[in-house]
Structure 1
Amino acid sequence: MNIILLQDLEKVGEKFEVVAVKPGYGRNFLIPKKMAIIANKENLAKLEDHKQREAAKEAKLIEGYLALKEKIEATPLTIGAKAGTSGKIFGSVTSVQIIQALKDQLGLDVDRRLVDMTEEVKDLGSYKAQVKFHKQVIAVVSFDVIAD
């Protein structure tokens, strides 16, 4: 039985993929739970139309993310932290502080879950972090930690 998946399913396939499954699994589990629909001519035509609309929407979204990426990568941020005489800061710089710096210095409101800190920041100096807007658009944020 061929079906069109309406969501990503582990070990079955990805959203909007046409896959072959056993008839009982499709009829008794996937279709009643609205996880899939039968792959007939009408549904396949709807799928193609939907894929085109989704692709156009995603292209527009990626274009916006690329503009944000350019803005973020063009300007290094400055984050102030209390530090001792040896250059070690009290505590550490977190993604929340990077988000606040993006908001204050660049006027960008970014979700903190998108920020990926590759290293722990516990000293004064220059560092980099990633902002993962999309699987295809990852911005590298450069920031300097200075003593307050």
Structure 2
Amino acid sequence: MSTTEIILTEKIENLGVEADVVKVKRGYARNFLVPRGLALEVTPATLKRLNLLKAKRAEREAKELNEADELARRINKLKITLELETGETGKAFGSITAADIAERLKKELGGQTEVDRHRIQLDKPIKETGEHEVTIKLHHDVVAKLTINVKAKGGEEAAGEDEDKKSEDKGFKAKPKAKHAK
């Protein structure tokens, strides 16, 4: 299979970002990348355009870094309280996942800023009450720390309901089961 060198004009997943010179199969370049404007063939004229693409890339990366820094400052200031369904013994019925945290962050940050749930680094879902610190990787150079306070929901209510039932059932005694002979 013959390969050719091309200059990428946009970020392409699993291949590279703009201004990268990469080797791809000739058919992929000729039939897909070049006709869609995603890449340019390497010629002396396109090598001159490479500097423009590098400037565009540097500008985009600087903008992404600034946005990530600003978002990290906002997230570091936040302290979110989430409720976890628990039973009377304090055992959790569910858990708090990265998707739950991302949804709550969207509400807290005003709705226009959204944090992808895949950027929230949880080793496992949160199943205990208390204070937890969650790491959010916003950019390869920017990491935010979010403090989450998890409170029990339903534990106190369930315990109160059980006490009411016990007080109602005091006069009732269950009959012992008769043993049946075979």
TM-score tier by shorter-chain length is 0.7 to 0.9
Question: What TM-score do you get using the length of structure 1 for normalisation?
Answer: 0.76
Distance 1:139 1:80 in 2: 22
Among 71, 79, 98, the alignment partner of 2:101 is 98
136, 139, 145: which is aligned to 2:144?
Answer: 139
Q: What is the distance in 1 between the residues matched to 2:107 and 2:21?
A: 46
CA distance in 1, matches of 2:6, 2:102: 39
Match of 1:69 among 59, 69, 72: 72
Q: Which amino acid aligns with 2:147?
A: S
Letter in 1 for 2:82: I
Q: Which runs of 5+ in 2 are unaligned?
A: 154-182
Q: Higher strand proportion, which one?
A: 1
Equivalent AA in structure 1 for residue 126 of structure 2: V
- Identity of paired residues, percent? 27
Q: Which runs of 4+ in 1 moved over 4 A?
A: 7-10
Which is worse superposed, 43-52 or 116-125? 116-125
Residue 145 of structure 1 deviates from its aligned partner by 0.6
C-alpha contact 1:2 1:18 (8 A) present in aligned 2:
no
How much does 1:19 deviate? 4.6
Preserved CA contact (<8 Å) 1:5 1:14: no
- The CA distance in 2 between the partners of 1:20 and 1:55, in whole Å, is 22
2:32 paired residue number: 33
* 1:42-57 mapped onto 2 (5 Å cutoff): 42-57=45-60
**Unaligned ranges ≥5, structure 1:** none
Aligned CA distance change for structure 1 residues 17 and 120 (closer, same or farther; 3 Å): same
Structure 1 position 44, deviation (Å): 1.2
When residues 8 and 51 of structure 1 are mapped into structure 2, their CA distance, relative to the original with a 3 A threshold, is: same
SS at match of 2:124: coil
Q: Is 1:4 equivalent to 2:6 in the alignment?
A: yes
Q: 3-state SS of the aligned residue for 1:93? A: coil
TM-score, normalised via structure 2 length: 0.64
Indicate the RMSD between aligned Cα atoms, in angstroms: 2.7
- Find the structure with the greater CA-based Rg: 2
C-alpha separation in 1, matches of 2:109 and 2:90: 27
More off after superposition, 128-137 vs 64-73: 128-137
Residue in 1 that maps onto 2:117:
112
